[in-house]
Structure 1
Amino acid sequence: MANILVVDDELGIRDLLSDILNDEGHTVELAENAAQARSARQIGRPDLVLLDIWMPDTDGVTLLKEWRGTGMLTMPVIMMSGHATIDTAVEATRIGAMSFLEKPITLQKLLKAVDAALTREPSAPRSAPVMEVAELAVGAAVTTHAADLTVEAAMTGGQSLPTIADLGPQGQRTFELDKPLRDARDAFEKAYFEFHLAKEGGSMTRVAEKTGLERTHLYRKLKQLGVDLSRGRRGNAAV
């Protein structure tokens, strides 16, 4: 089993990844910013680092460059982000990242990426993860046009979908962009999960299948975002 350093400024993400990796038998150390990550890297020698890109003090790509420049990039690094561009993902892999995981991270993708990173040959060249970058492109397109999902409201038989008061022109959900990035991202994710919960009649099983998340991960994410889990169940029995 491996010593894994998880670097993420979100407490919920750190706790979730720690629980999953501990269950797999790994030893996990947590850091909430680049300063703590630097300290952990200097004190110990992690076998793998899961590194978030967007952090308040120093972003993950900058920290990755720093480690490479000082000869401390001796371990595989998996980058993580819920709102990175394709260029950012490609840049990170050029610098030396092993792969890229887009949030929300599914259990299957996490364990697959961790296993691949820990079993790679030390001399094996790192190349851009074509599949992950392709999936990021799709994810970016979905995020950019996420409000278009509300078009499906007419097909849900009048379930408890966002009301017209929540929507902008042409039935599109609007988001306040003049706020910190994390708050704007949380607002979108909350709207996204509320939409699917309402569409699936509050069924956690079907929403988990739709969004590609494990039920435990999904439940924790919904609680973290403050989603009203009873909203989608009004008038429908959950499965």
Structure 2
Amino acid sequence: MANILVVDDEMGIRELLSEILSDEGHAIQLAENAQQAREARAQGAPDLVLLDIWMPDTDGVTLLKEWQRDGLLTMPVIMMSGHATIDTAVEATRIGALNFLEKPIALQKLLKAVQAGLTRAQETVRAPALAPRPVVAAQPEETPALGGFAVQNPAAAIAVRGGATVAGADNHMFNLSFDLPLREARDAFERMYFEHHLGREGGSMTRVAEKTGLERTHLYRKLKQLGVEPGKLAKKNA
């Protein structure tokens, strides 16, 4: 049995989720707004939080940022919304949300996401604390990591000449200019990120969705928005 906090301003959604998860043997705590969620979190971290994005006082993403900032994001959080954009879902996962469920939520998707979240929480609890490793100066032949990519030239990871050069697992080089407007730089990085994972997974959308933590539908929309074509990448890496 797990302690699950459900945060949603719609009474019908709260009651439905409470009924479903209670039938699964979980203890459910309900909050109808961010303030009640804060109070519930202050009483102790639940095993999992289901958090609605659009709420009248403070939206779910803002509350998620607040918990992350204050060191309170110690439990898996699954975001929920029927109106969120892809950018909102991606932002939530970047902040620390484990998953995103689109309303109306299908029963099997809900149960699968909750189980995955509880499994993640148990793995975190069981993981032994690691002693800090001594900092060793990198030798010229070493290739430190930058955001999941291997940096071929460590100096390129710094804002030298306004950009960075990184390489994916297949040693394909990616260049990113820091002189771009923020939105364009973000899109460029996301394009590199998804191309990297699509290349590693042979174009498999299922495996890429699992790796990136996105629902397949959201992944398809995001790739279309970025102009990334999985089919071409799969053929290129075949």
The TM-score by the shorter chain falls in which range?
0.5 to 0.7
Does the alignment pair 1:130 with 2:179?
Answer: no
Map 1:40-55 onto structure 2 (within 5 A). 40-55=40-55
Which runs of 5 or more structure 1 residues have no equivalent in the other structure? 139-239
Paired position in structure 2 for 1:3: 3
Give the TM-score normalised by structure 1.
Answer: 0.54
Map 1:20-169 onto structure 2 (within 5 A). 20-120=20-120, 121-122=123-124, 128-132=212-216, 134=218, 137=221
Deviation of 1:3 after TM superposition, in Å, equals 0.1
CA shift digits 1:180-215 (9 cap, x unpaired):
xxxxxxxxxxxxxxxxxxxxxxxxxxxxxxxxxxxx
**Could you say what secondary structure the match of 1:73 adopts?**
coil
Letter of the 2:25 counterpart:
G
Higher RCO (CA-CA < 8 Å; seq separation 6+): 1
Letter of the 1:71 counterpart:
G
Instruction: Name the % identity.
Output: 73
Map 1:184-195 onto structure 2 (within 5 A). none
Count of paired positions: 138
Letter of the 1:103 counterpart:
K
Q: For 2:61 and 2:23, how far apart are their aligned partners in 1?
A: 28
Letter of the 2:73 counterpart:
L
Q: Which has the higher helix share?
A: 1
Contact kept in structure 2, 1:34 and 1:57, CA below 8 Å: yes
Deviation of 1:130 after TM superposition, in Å, equals 2.7
Runs of 4+ in 1 over 6 A off after TM superposition: none
Deviation of 1:64 after TM superposition, in Å, equals 0.1
Q: For 1:98 and 1:80, how far apart are their aligned partners in 2?
A: 11
Q: Structure 1 stretch 126-135 or stretch 68-77: which is displaced more?
A: 126-135
CA shift digits 1:72-117 (9 cap, x unpaired):
0000000000010000000000000000000000110000000000
Contact kept in structure 2, 1:93 and 1:128, CA below 8 Å: no
Which runs of 5 or more structure 2 residues have no equivalent in the other structure? 128-147, 149-209, 223-238
Contact kept in structure 1, 2:100 and 2:214, CA below 8 Å: no
Contact kept in structure 1, 2:100 and 2:215, CA below 8 Å: no
